[in-house]
Structure 1
Amino acid sequence: MTTIVRIFFLFGLLPISLSAAEGMPRVVLSEDGKDFLLDGTDQRFYVWGVNYDHDAEGRLIEDYWHDHWESVEEDFAEIKDLGANVVRVHLQVAKFMNSADEPNQRNLQKLSELVTLAEKTGLYLKLTGLGCYHKQDVPAWYDELAEAERWQVQANFWKAIASTCKNSPAIFCYDLMNEPVLAGGKNPGAWLVGEPLGGKYFVQRITTDMAGRDSKEVAAAWVKKLTDAIREVDSRTLITVGVIPWAHVWPNAKPVFYSPEVSGPLDFVSVHFYPKAGQVDKAIAALKVYDVGKPLVIEEFFPLKCSQEEAEDFLAKARPVTDGLTSFYWGVTPQQYEAQQTMEGAILAKWLSFFQGRSPQSMPQ
């Protein structure tokens, strides 16, 4: 290390996204399990990331990474320039499983190349799996499976992903599924829930039949099934699951996936927050429900339902109880948004500029 880098490291000011040339330590839990640390150091790691869930045209990464890899490389460079240290990538079942037990080797190879790109760029990957975002791509054979067989496919998916990625320190974590829910609600026999957002189904059931079981029993069995599959091949990488914070909807709601009965195999908490206008304090109260003694990351955040000023207020109040934030990046820089000269472009440019100015380099540790 150079002298100035050593000084920065000693005083806790070192940018968390280390370059490949300097080495990339794995992110681990502190001894008490309450903080993220860079392996081999006492340096705390604060997640400052983006969801790279689709591009500006709404395409998922597997839709274009074979033919337009240069776009992925450009986007990762732009994400690094924004001051981010984590990229949340969403992987689809249909792209990684040819059948119930046969992984797609071509896409696993491309995932391996993405890991190498992350290492070179100095960005950590948060791999979110089991996506069925494009309903038209979901194989009929997968949709027709009963719960036990579907869970086995999901376990096979994660075993293949973990086998591919386990040796890289650039893998921050495996995120079992985006916004899993249990049975009930409208159209209870369908695996995908609700109306599509931007043509994508982000919410998915893990069962369509409770069969006399309670919510925590089902959630615990599902979490154990998938984490056991990962731990067969990878004993080190952190594991989480990104959930809808129902305490934000119903103030008296208690966590299911992050209850003591379910969360044992999960290393940290991931929740999604979109505060409403005039309700910042309500959102903070809901956030604190998920402060359960594990690192707490706001895995999705954007001023979708509130002003930028309220979003900044929420983040300032959330900072003492959180260990990270993940917003969004869709392949368009703040400068490119500004050049659009539209209201939407101005809003997005302002938000990304704020995000860039609050990167780990400038945030207190």
Structure 2
Amino acid sequence: MADRVDRAPQPSVAEAGVRPGNPPGPMSINSGPAAVLLVLFGNPPRLLISTGVNFSMKRFVQLLLMSIPGLAMAQSSVTLYGLVDTGIQYLTNADSAGHRSIGMAPNAYLPSRFGFRGVEDLGGGVKAVFQLENGFNSATGSMVVANTLFNRQAWVGVDGSVGKLTFGRQYSVQFDRAIYYDPTFFAAYSALSLNAIPLATIRVNNSAKFTSSRFAGFTTEAMYGFGQQEPGNALAGRYIGAALEYTVNRFTATATYEQARGTVTKTGDLSSRVDNRYAFAARYNAAKFAVMANVTRVTGDLQLTPRGTVYWLAGNAFVTPFLQLYAIGGRYDYQGCDAHPMIFVAGTLYSLSKRTMLYANVGTARNNGGSSLGLNNYASVGQPGHSQLGVAVGIDQKF
């Protein structure tokens, strides 16, 4: 029997806290025959519960539902969820003059967001699904992307035993797969800072994506982005991605390929230029620790990020069910020049509950040969060739 694999749209382990498992269920609005029957029965079930006859009533309701054709097919739900993260950060080389900065850092570990997930049972093992997600600045309350309410995700589709087919603004294939090979799941100080995945292709607009169920340990994913949909120019902003993942016991490995085309702007037409990325990653999960690695090769003339090869090695360990430690080291070897910036990160996560977590992170971005890689995701250091040190502490709460 197929085993559904749907990792990317769900909260990651990092987002769910340092304990295995997910936080308590978010606020849900459910509809269907069960809810109607509860209303019809009203107070009697509660009286029966108080007198110890609750089991009989539950069985009666279940049997009644099963005996009425069609009633048990129309279950649907909409779930409100979110995450609020903020902290204090110290950063060197924060501007072009090389000044240091210290202050409140929204999203000092994970991006703050809220969203809605919807599911409707269509019968026959098929469900209609959607997800809408907004990113916001927890320090000011402003949207991360002005004039784009659901800047993080906005898609709709169908989900069945074979896999899931979705349409809209979605995470790219490489992001979907690579996030699992970073112990922070691409937090602020993480392997994402190496720019193996360009900012322009983390999410893909106007896209169709299919993610298969797991068969004999294999999962496949394919995605096509229609780009800018320019009349007469189907190549403008086009995206193509594919992945094959294999899982056996505690070991998982993934191979991905992506191609992104340039866009058309007022200053020129770059649709003839292309960016290619080939990646291979592997992960081993032990009982209390995990090790992971990724290699990404970047080619093409679009150069969303420089041509070259990105490597990273990482791991995490659960010291206790409440305390997690992690470390990441990576390097980007630029092709055709002597630049090879490096990232080193270490951190600790402490779970106060299943929903609330404290964190402390430290990292450094080491630049040379004119590179200007910043420590915090896609930020650049103020002075090319100079290094950057960062320390952040904060709190993260999910709902």
TM category (shorter chain) comes to 0.3 to 0.5
More helix by share: 1
> Which has the higher relative contact order, 1 or 2, with Cα contacts under 8 A spaced 6 or more apart?
1
- TM superposition score normalised by structure 1: 0.34
TM-score normalised to structure 2 length? 0.32
